[in-house]
Amino acid sequence: MSKILVIDDERPIRSTLKEILEFEKFQVDDAEDGKAGLELIKKNKYDIILCDIKMPKMDGMEVLEETIALEIETPFIMISGHGNVETAVEAIKKGAYDFIQKPLDLNRTLVTLRNALDKESFVKEIKTLKRKVSKGKFTEIVGNSKGILAIKEMISKVAPSDARVLITGANGSGKELVARQLHEKSERNKSPFIEVNCAAIPSELIESELFGHEKGAFTSAHKLRQGKFEQADKGTLFLDEIGDMSLSAQAKVLRALQENKISRVGSDKEIKVDVRILAATNKDLKSEISKGNFREDLFHRLNVIPIKVPSLNERRDDIPVLVNYFLELICNDQGLPLKTIKNDALLLLQEINWTGNIRELRNIIERLIILSGNEITAKDVKTYTNIHN
């Protein structure tokens, strides 16, 4: 049930609006002047505020300005008497959603209310979607440890070229982040960055995913589909967990790297592609080669520039700066006031055996933000991490 505040110094208008809006299933509070209305705004959360402009003690314009100053985003519908239209228009310029002129047309009032509620709902949905999209997709490499500084220097040297890069490291250590930085600092950064998780795609579908397929190429191929190589044309293709790619797909990838051409599944037609390849794996590819699971010639094609990402346990000095970075990032994403962390809590986090690396640290910080008070303490870390060294 939407909650509405009516601020007007005329009792008959307040009573009439309250009666009609409650009949329409709204929850309604009312205030007899701007000062009383502002106090209610500070104490309660409203979906819409109906506010008269000309009132004693504090007029509607002042209520609007004070509410905006408090960073409260509730839509205002200003109520304007004869001769106050210019003032109402000025209120809209200052942030009001709309205005209604007295004497009130109740049908128009209800339409304006519902339009404002629909807009507010849409804005909230957009903010939620933006948070979901942005969650976990940070691109800054945070840290000043020796290993991280070496990676940053390598990225600055390698990114402007088209050299292939093989990024190795444990799960959650930030291999994708390195790949995104290589793309963003390259001359291809205005073109697509396309990511393929080779471990997440069944072996029988990986070729169609990478190279596309023609209509009718197989039972479920109801229409032509471009593969990731074509989608990444003029940009960057990131082959994550390439150590899990099937041998048949490896052979086709090798051919694409050699000739800069691909063929869709079900077609002999060759398509030229201009793609920079970045690959990543948590496996020892040399060991996989000896087991017959990975092609040696493909390894050498990919391993032009090797970058090894250190585990979090190898860069514990970066944990304080990473923690503070995640605190700010997550609090902003979730619309929460920024939380702080005590030094003894940071020291405890530095002692943990981080088997899940950066990904695990981020999840733990999100948990601490949700479950702790305004300041995260050592007690909070002990209570909520549930991690045993």
Quickly list DSSP for 130-156. HHHHHTT--------SHHHHHHHHHHH
pLDDT at 369 over 70: yes
Residues above pLDDT 70, as percent of the chain: 93
Whether residue 88 is found in the same domain as residue 184: no
Whether residue 170 is found in the same domain as residue 297: yes
Q: Is residue 389 part of a domain?
A: no
The neighbouring-strand residues paired with 262 are: 271
Residues above pLDDT 90, as percent of the chain: 65
- Structural tokens at position 111: 């339409």
Q: Is residue 141 part of a domain?
A: no
DSSP string across 24-86: TT-EEEEESSHHHHHHHHHHS--SEEEEESS-SSS-HHHHHHHHHHTT--PPEEEEE-TT-HH
User: What is the CATH classification number for the domain harbouring 64?
Assistant: 3.40.50.2300
pLDDT at 83 over 90: no
pLDDT at 225 over 90: no
Give the tens place of pLDDT for each residue, 143-196: 999 999 999 999 999 999 999 999 999 999 999 999 999 999 999 999 999 999
Contact 241, 288 (CB under 8 A): no
Confidence label for 389 from pLDDT (cuts 50, 70 and 90) = very low
**What pLDDT, on the 0 to 100 scale, is given for residue 102?**
83
How far, CA to CA in Å, does 244 sit from each of 202, 230, 235, 356?
Answer: 10, 22, 23, 20
The region of weakest confidence among 36-45, 76-85, 178-187, 282-291 is 76-85
Tell me what the mean pLDDT of segment 337-354 comes to. 94
pLDDT at 87 over 80: no
Contact 278, 140 (CB under 8 A): no
Number of domains forming the structure of the chain = 3
Q: What count of other Cβ atoms lies within 10 Å of the Cβ of residue 164?
A: 16
Q: What is the mean pLDDT of the chain?
A: 89
Whether residue 117 is found in the same domain as residue 169: no
Q: Which residues constitute the domain of residue 321? A: 313-384
Q: Is residue 183 part of a domain?
A: yes
Q: What count of other Cβ atoms lies within 10 Å of the Cβ of residue 204?
A: 11
Tell me what the mean pLDDT of segment 276-301 comes to. 96
Confidence label for 139 from pLDDT (cuts 50, 70 and 90) = low
Q: Is residue 205 part of a domain?
A: yes
pLDDT at 135 over 70: no
Contact 367, 349 (CB under 8 A): no
Whether residue 185 is found in the same domain as residue 278: yes
Whether residue 82 is found in the same domain as residue 217: no
User: What is the CATH classification number for the domain harbouring 252?
Assistant: 3.40.50.300
Tell me what the mean pLDDT of segment 212-234 comes to. 85
Contact 177, 228 (CB under 8 A): no
Between these two residues, 355 and 103, which has the higher pLDDT value?
Answer: 355
Tell me what the mean pLDDT of segment 95-122 comes to. 85
The region of weakest confidence among 13-27, 203-217, 236-250, 264-278 is 203-217
User: What is the CATH classification number for the domain harbouring 372?
Assistant: 1.10.8.60
Give the tens place of pLDDT for each residue, 312-335: 999 999 999 999 999 999 998 888
**What pLDDT, on the 0 to 100 scale, is given for residue 265?**
86
Contact 243, 288 (CB under 8 A): yes
Tell me what the mean pLDDT of segment 68-88 comes to. 80
Whether residue 201 is found in the same domain as residue 272: yes
Confidence label for 128 from pLDDT (cuts 50, 70 and 90) = low
Whether residue 182 is found in the same domain as residue 46: no
Whether residue 121 is found in the same domain as residue 158: no
Whether residue 28 is found in the same domain as residue 151: no
Residue finishing a domain among 282, 308, 334:
308
pLDDT at 105 over 70: yes
Whether residue 68 is found in the same domain as residue 43: yes
Whether residue 172 is found in the same domain as residue 300: yes
The region of weakest confidence among 24-28, 94-98, 222-226 is 222-226
Whether residue 44 is found in the same domain as residue 176: no
Most trustworthy range by pLDDT among 66-75, 96-105, 345-354: 345-354
Residue finishing a domain among 76, 102, 133:
133
Q: Is residue 140 part of a domain?
A: no
pLDDT at 306 over 90: yes
DSSP string across 369-380: HHHS-SEE-HHH
Q: Which residue has the tokens 């840290």?
A: 143
Confidence label for 124 from pLDDT (cuts 50, 70 and 90) = low
Tell me what the mean pLDDT of segment 255-284 comes to. 92
Residue finishing a domain among 106, 133, 160:
133
Tell me what the mean pLDDT of segment 204-225 comes to. 83
